[in-house]
Amino acid sequence: MKPSKMKTKEDTWKSDELLKHIKAAQGDHADDSSKKSRERKRHKDEESVGTSDSREHRHRGRERDKEREQGKERVRNKDKERDGDRHKEQEHEKVRKKKNDERERDREQKQERERERHNDRDRDKERVQKWDIDQEHSTDPRVRIKDKEWDTYAEKHTKRGHESERHRDKERDRKKERDKLQEKGTEKDENGNQRPKHRQKKDKENLELEMDEKYERKERKHRERKEKEGKSTENNEETKEKKRRPSEFRDEDYDRRYKEHKDHGPHDGHREKREKERREPGQKAGIEEMERKHRVRKDKEDGKKQRHKDIKDSAVEWKDREWEHKDREKRDWERKEEPQRKHKHKVKKERDEKERRGDYTEEQSVKRKKERRSIQETTSESKRKGSTKEQIDSQKKPTETLTEEFVEGEEIAMESQSTIESSNYDNDFEDYEDDFEEGDCEDEEVEQEREEIPARQRAELEAIQKAITAENEQVRETRTRSHRKTFNEEPNRDFENSQTRGPARGTFIDFAAAKQREIISKVASKQKKRSLELLRLIDLDFSVSFSLLDLPPLNEYDVYIKNFGRTNTKQAFVQCNEDNVDRDIQTDEIETVEKWTQHPGEGNLICGGLLKCGANVSDALSSVAKNVDSRRLTNFLRSACQVISVLLEEEQAENQASKNLQSKAASLSVSDGCSQLNTNLAFLHGREVLCLHFSPVQRQILLSIHSLPKEPGVVQLASSYMVCVWNIWEPSAPQKVLVCESEVQCCCFGPDNVISLFAGTTDGSVVAWDLREHSIMHCSLQIGGQEWTFRTPTFSTDGVLTVVNHSCAVKAVYPVSSACFDNPGVGLSLFSSQEGRSGLSFQLATLDESGLLNLWVVVELQKADFAGSLTDLGLIPGGKIKLIHSSSIEVNSFLPRNLVQLGSPKTLSIRFLPSDPNHFFIGTDIGLVSHGTRHGLQAAPKLYKPQINGARPVQVTCIDFCHFGKTLFLVGCSDGTIRLHSVITERPIIQWNDSTQGRPIRAVAWALTRPGMFFVLDSASHIYVWDLLQNVSTPAAEESLQPDRITAIALLGDPEKPGASSGLMLAMQTGAIEIQYLMKHWSEPHLNELETLHYILQKTA
Amino acid sequence: FKTAVVKAKINNVLKEELSNMFYNPEEIPYVTKKIAEAIKTRVKECAFDRYKLVVQVVIGEQRGEGVKMAARCFWDADTDNFAQAVYMNESLFCVAAAFGCYYY
């Protein structure tokens, strides 16, 4: 449908173009008129060459036209066919054009075009003829039958050439016009308004003139059609009529054209005049321009003509061709073969031309070629028959008019539509007239393009013919349809266009095509009807829309995963809080380090951790525990710690205080130096030292008992008695500080070591401290910038064990080594034995004033109970030492009855026989020392009495065994007497009565390194040094320390290491503790001193 | 116009043509036409004689963008119908729709 549509358009324009020309002729439009005038000028020039010929030709043409009218129908049919052929050709060629690489094809096309041109010419000629017939049959009654066909041919040629020329001109003009258009935009608009009026006028005239003829023809045609298509319906008949109508219009147009032509006459001047006349009423403005153009055209054509004159040589050929043409005309109905011949002829001719003019190349512009050819033809023909140019020229206008008349039928629709199409087609043209020109031009261009292809070949001619035939048929089809549509009054644009084409193309009437068209239209109408009926039944809707695809965009995570997945990796995630699978709750993994601690601290490991592999903390701990002998380690640490601290102290002392200490040496004659323990501590300040006691095992460890302070220095401790454990080599501070609520009367270390300490109090309780306990178990105080741990008793019998406990003040505490039971006869002294006895399994003897001797078993618990024991109420939580009551001995039962009758004597002190702990000696307040055993038979002597008989109210204040020989002991009494006893005799060996001038003896102490020497302290702070080897009767030296009173003494030294330093510990009332280092001759034992002593004693006794 | 049947056919065609195919902007136009033709011939085999067929094939690249396609038809909903199938792989998606219009 499309190609036909296109064609329709073009056709429409063609007709409209003609219309425009008519207007131009009327002088409405300067441009149009100028165009026309140009063309006319050209014609004039040509005619000037052969005026007579042209005139002749015209005459002939007129005559022939008359004849023609009689066979008009035939001609019309022919024309129709031809018309169709042309259309088909065009179509085919268009298609072919695209492929035209080969020269042969080019040639072919040229031939075709030539053929076409012939057809055109024919048509034109026919038109002219008709016109002639219509208009001039009265004036030109001559019938030229023989010349008729020839004339037709010639006319065709001329017309064709003229037409092509005209087209070319138009093209040119249009170009100019385009330029002008922009300039004269307003002018044109005005013209556009005027144009329709003119057209209408003309149409009216035409109608009046040709009414009669039209009617006749219509009827005739109708009849003929009916004969052919017996089956055709009334509708079809109508259609036929309508179809016919255009052709009738055409005829009428021709008539008119011819008339005009006649009026103008063949003379150039006349025509020019007419042109001018036309122009004048319209627009005088364009006249000058037109004339200029005419001139230009003239010049051009003159040049061309000269060129053509050369072709006269080929006059013979031309004649042949003419003859052929005549033949062809005779075989009017066998048209199809004719083109071939014609073409052959033309091909020949053109080849010749080409040969002649080598300068004309194929590439030369199409326009020029065409011009050339057309001019050639024109000239040649004009030579032969006289120029038909005049006729053609004049024909132009009538043709246009005719077209317009035809168009008038559907005037309004046409105009509007053409405008629309024109606007689609070429936007440059605002006027539809211009558009028509454009359409025309395009037709021409197509032709030109075809011409451009130079190569020609016969071989393809047949194919072309076929194509032509096909085209013809198609045209017929479209025509039929268009006609039908028009008469059904269905304003279909396409159909209208096609309808207009027919008339535009002129005189082509084909009954076969019409028949076909009719059939087709019938079918179409049926279909239409059906579709209409169906449409009533069918509901078309587009309410539902279908979703074909809905692909949601990927979110960021998906994109990430997509990209991630391509990298051949895997993704995993870990979440520490497994039951909280929510993104918001996810947290970083918390770094953990395992550490442990323990409260209260037990052992040396209280806290730990920070092991590199945290998972194996417990394992590592256990392994450490397994590998390390913790006891050994702790022992080592303890001793090492002490050693180190001692070393540090010594160094310090050496550095700063050695002179001070040495300076004090002068205080005692027996000493060559002294040092002081630092008791100037806040919590010790103002406390009197009640007792000093060296550890029997570790001789440098000293404990001191401090009374309540006279003025409270540290408030918290003001009500507590204190026991300090010192290392005399570390004098700056006590190693441990023990506190006790009640007054401590006596205290002692454990027998084998210094890890435990026992004390008796005035309220009858026995308390024990475990020095191994960690300091965190006890309360610590920050005193004087230093932290002190005040240890409370681990175990106390206070308030518990009330049945067996002491009811009065405990006067003495004394450890009983169990080892002594195992080896009763071994060794000189229990205390001197350094054999390591493990554990704390030993007995403790405590003696109170009432003479009750309690024996306790010291038990060390394997496991501490930090929660506190429910059964052992005296045990502090976490404590490991407790006392279990073993046995009780009523000491007074050993005393004679006569002594007891006076009242139970107070027992003041107790000593165990170092060689046999089973025996104990108890000092009483009646001046007697009772001798008892813990178990077994009563030992003799029961009592040790002074030399003077009887019991006296004299307190035995102290008893001390000699460290050598084991059987001698000294007894100090409150009346100032000192007795030296042997354990085997009741009476003393030696008794000194007035050595102290009657002052009570506070303490007696055998020297640790020399058997024949002892120290005596009286209550007046006098120290007497006795050297029995030197002098038995009087002390070897007497010292008194002023102003301070000495409250207690203790002897430093190791009996087994006589070379070691020995000294005298002096405790002052002010709380100071001094060490007086004994001079060498006092400390070093003499040779056979013990034997000498025995001898002296025997001699004395 | 049996949607299910046609859909199965379209699916088959898509699978045959597009399996192991990656999006290549140069060759996709041809593939699209090829698929459209294949679908048309396949559907014609189903003997929907009175139906005019319109086959539309769209192939696009998968880049994570969202795509929405919809169709709207001005037709007789009683007789006319369409079938549509989607094929997707990692690099492309293909939507093929076949519309059948009953020809009275």
Q: Write the DSSP string, A478-506.
A: HHHHHHHHHHHT---HHHHHHHHHHHHH-
pLDDT above 50 (res A476): yes
Share of chain A above pLDDT 90, in %: 1
Taking phi over 0 as left and psi of -120 to 50 as alpha, with beta for the rest, A516 belongs to: alpha
Nearest by CB to A545, which of B72, B75, B84? B72
Angstrom CA distances, A1020 to A264, A671, A1014, stand at 186, 20, 18
Among A16-25, A211-220, A489-498, A725-734, the minimum mean pLDDT is found in A489-498
Residues of B in contact with A541 (CB under 8 A): 74-77
Mutation target for B interface from A541, A543, A545, A549: give the one with most B CBs within 10 A: A549
Residue A432 has a pLDDT of 43
Residue A739 has a pLDDT of 84
Mean pLDDT of the A140-145 span: 44
pLDDT above 50 (res A741): yes
Residue A1049 has a pLDDT of 80
For residues A541 and A91, the model is more confident at A541
Write a three-state SS string for A433-454: HHHHHHHHHHHHHHHHHHHHCC
CB within 8 Å of A922: residues ≥ 6 apart: A847, A851, A853, A891, A907, A908, A909, A910, A929, A930, A931, A932
Q: B46 to chain A, minimum CA–CA distance in Å?
A: 22
CA A298 to chain centroid: 83
A526 — contact with chain B (CB < 8 Å)? Answer: no
pLDDT above 70 (res A576): no
Q: How far apart are CA B67 and CA B95, in angstroms?
A: 11
For residue A545, what is the nearest residue in chain B, using CA coordinates? B72
Residue B74 has a pLDDT of 85
pLDDT above 80 (res A791): yes
Banded pLDDT at A942 (limits 50, 70, 90): confident
For residues A455 and A523, the model is more confident at A523
Banded pLDDT at A521 (limits 50, 70, 90): very high
B75 — contact with chain A (CB < 8 Å)? Answer: yes
A549 — contact with chain B (CB < 8 Å)? Answer: yes
Nearest by CB to A544, which of B66, B77, B95? B77
**Are the beta carbons of A765 and A797 closer than 8 angstroms?**
yes
Among A469-473, A852-856, A1058-1062, the minimum mean pLDDT is found in A1058-1062
For residues A614 and A757, the model is more confident at A757
Mutation target for A interface from B22, B39, B55, B73: give the one with most A CBs within 10 A: B73
Q: Could you read off the pLDDT of A916-939 as tens digits, one per residue?
A: 777 788 887 777 787 877 776 666
**Are the beta carbons of B18 and B91 closer than 8 angstroms?**
no
Contact check, Cβ <8 Å, B70/A547: yes
Residue B44 has a pLDDT of 87
For residue B88, what is the nearest residue in chain A, using CA coordinates? A551
As assigned by CATH, the class of the B3-102 domain is alpha beta
A538 — contact with chain B (CB < 8 Å)? Answer: yes
Contact check, Cβ <8 Å, B93/A551: yes
Q: Could you read off the pLDDT of A414-451 as tens digits, one per residue?
A: 444 444 444 444 444 444 444 444 444 444 444 444 44
Mean pLDDT of the A568-578 span: 65
Q: B7 to chain A, minimum CA–CA distance in Å?
A: 12
pTM of the complete model: 0.41
Q: B1 to chain A, minimum CA–CA distance in Å?
A: 16
Cross-strand bridge partners of residue A980: A970, A990
Share of chain B above pLDDT 90, in %: 1
Q: Could you read off the pLDDT of A809-826 as tens digits, one per residue?
A: 787 888 776 544 444 333
For residues A689 and A869, the model is more confident at A689
* Number of A–B residue contacts, CB under 8 Å: 66
Among A367-371, A955-959, B37-41, the minimum mean pLDDT is found in A367-371
Mutation target for A interface from B39, B72, B82: give the one with most A CBs within 10 A: B72
Contact check, Cβ <8 Å, A549/B66: no
Q: B96 to chain A, minimum CA–CA distance in Å?
A: 8
Q: Could you read off the pLDDT of A204-229 as tens digits, one per residue?
A: 445 444 555 555 555 555 555 545 54
Contact check, Cβ <8 Å, B69/A549: yes
Contact check, Cβ <8 Å, A539/B73: no
For residues A1020 and A603, the model is more confident at A1020
Residue A428 has a pLDDT of 43
Average pLDDT over chain A, rounded to an integer:
62
Nearest by CB to B95, which of A542, A548, A554? A548
Banded pLDDT at A716 (limits 50, 70, 90): low
Angle between helices A145-183 and A185-228 (to 10 degrees): 150
Q: Could you read off the pLDDT of A287-342 as tens digits, one per residue?
A: 444 545 555 454 444 444 444 444 444 444 454 455 555 455 445 544 444 444 44
pLDDT above 50 (res A580): yes
In terms of average pLDDT, the best of A170-179, A212-221, A558-567, A903-912 is A903-912
Residue A712 has a pLDDT of 62
Q: Could you read off the pLDDT of A969-1015 as tens digits, one per residue?
A: 888 888 888 888 887 777 777 788 777 777 888 888 887 777 778 88
Residue A1010 has a pLDDT of 76
**Are the beta carbons of B96 and B35 closer than 8 angstroms?**
yes
Share of chain A above pLDDT 70, in %: 40
Residue A520 has a pLDDT of 92
